[in-house]
Amino acid sequence: MGKIFRYECRRLLWNKFFIGLAVVLLLYGALVLHAVTILGVAHTAPFSPWSFGDYLSRMLPLLWIGMLFFLTFYTSPKARRAAALTDAAPMPPRRYALARCAAALTGGALLSLLCMVEAAVFYVRMFGWCGWGSLLLPALATLLPALVFALGSGWLLGQIRPWLVYVWMAVPFLLAALPLPEALGLWNGSFFTACPLALETLDPAFVLPVAAAAAQAVLLAAGAALLAWGNRLRNITKK
């Protein structure tokens, strides 16, 4: 399985699409950092967990698209035709799918890491600031549930109809336009601008309210469940 995972990683990550995605992400990230993050959100420092979370929220739509784009490698009609051969391999299809999802998740994680490294370089260059430990929690809270959900939901939709993955790419933009309740503020980034103001202290430490944490946990669990469902659906379709 390790060999397949490494092969899928090389297939996903060592091609011009990944490089193109990375370049677009870096360029967009630079724009966000220089135009928005540099001002700081909700009166906090540009390098506060809140401003960093806001930056990641703005990058999230592109990361979401990137993650779904990786999945199109496995759900496209061409990949489905090739599945007749791969499914004939002695490895159980579920493990094979798991290796592929892990490779896609690795791709998403690498893109996320790239964004975070870019922000870290920005902070060092602009402010000589390098207290990166405080940024870990907002990064995990923002990115992990969203990317796992993108993976699970995208995998499931790809099994139903390949083109649904492309439609699903528009979801973050839809969420950005919707007035979501406070607990779901992490889904469109409004959490990072509203929550520190509600705390009514200057430069508050990062806290994740219970409702928001629960929403993210549900999102993470839903992602994992959809992934499992997608795998099952694939097996049923095959039979």
Partner 1 sequence: MKAMRLFPLELRRLLQSRLTWLMMALTVASPVLGLVLYKPADSTTMLSMYLANPALAGGAAGAILFGLLAIFELDRACRSRVDILTDAVVSPLTTALTRLLALLTAAVLTAGLTMLVWLPISAGLIGSVFTGADYVLAYLLLMGLALPLGVLAAAAAYQFTRRADLSIVLFIAFCALSLTVWVGDWQLCWLNPCVWALSDDFSNSRIFRSVAWMRLTWLSALAGVWTLSYLCIRQYGKGMLGSLARSARRIYRPAIALALLACSGAAYAAQPFIDRSNPDLTVMSFYEIPYAEGVTFVRRTAQVFPDTNAGTVTGRASYQFQNTSGQEQSISFGITPGYIISNVKANGTDVPFTVSGYQEYNEARLEVTIPAQEDVELTMEYSGFPQESLPTMQGGKELSSEYLCLENAALSPRVMNVLPGEAGYPAEIEITLPEAMIAIPFGSSRAEVIAENADGTRTWRYETNSAGGILYAGDYICEQIEAGGMTIEFYYGRKHQAVMEEAGAVDAVKAVVDYCTEHYGKLSYGAGDTLKLIQSRVAGGGYAANGASLLDEADFTIANLKDTSKGAVPGEIFIHELVHQWWGLGNMFDDSDGSPWSSEGLTVYTTYRIVKELYGADYAQKYYVDQWQQVVDDYYLNFYVRHPEYLEMLPEAERLNIAGSLSGVRRYNEMPLKILKAEQLVGGEEAMDQILHDLFNRELDPMYPYLTYQEFLDACHLTEEDLNLG
Can you give the binding site for partner 1, defined by CB under 8 A?
A: 31, 34, 38-40, 43-46, 126-128, 202
In terms of CB distance, is 34 or 238 closer to partner 1? Answer: 34
Q: Return the amino acid letter for 6.
A: R
By the 10 Å C-beta count (0-12 exposed, 13-18 middle, 19+ buried), 161 is classed as exposed
In whole angstroms, how close is the CB of 228 to partner 1 at the nearest point?
Answer: 34
Report the distance separating Cα 153 and Cα 148, nearest Å. Answer: 8
The first and second tokens of residue 133, run together, are 């430990």
In whole angstroms, how close is the CB of 45 to partner 1 at the nearest point?
Answer: 5
In whole angstroms, how close is the CB of 49 to partner 1 at the nearest point?
Answer: 14
In terms of CB distance, is 39 or 236 closer to partner 1? Answer: 39
In whole angstroms, how close is the CB of 40 to partner 1 at the nearest point?
Answer: 4
In whole angstroms, how close is the CB of 79 to partner 1 at the nearest point?
Answer: 17
Residue 44 and residue 51 in contact, taking contact as beta carbons nearer than 8 Å: yes
In terms of CB distance, is 152 or 204 closer to partner 1? Answer: 204
In terms of CB distance, is 10 or 34 closer to partner 1? Answer: 34
In terms of CB distance, is 33 or 227 closer to partner 1? Answer: 33
Sign of dihedral through CA atoms 172, 122, 145, 185?
negative
CA distances from 238 to 84, 92, 94, 159, 234 (A): 9, 13, 12, 11, 6
In terms of CB distance, is 45 or 120 closer to partner 1? Answer: 45
Residue 145 and residue 223 in contact, taking contact as beta carbons nearer than 8 Å: yes
In whole angstroms, how close is the CB of 202 to partner 1 at the nearest point?
Answer: 7
CA distances from 168 to 26, 174, 214 (A): 23, 10, 23
In whole angstroms, how close is the CB of 203 to partner 1 at the nearest point?
Answer: 8
Report the distance separating Cα 152 and Cα 171, nearest Å. Answer: 14
In terms of CB distance, is 45 or 98 closer to partner 1? Answer: 45
The first and second tokens of residue 202, run together, are 């200057």
Report the distance separating Cα 196 and Cα 37, nearest Å. Answer: 15
Sign of dihedral through CA atoms 218, 164, 64, 87?
positive
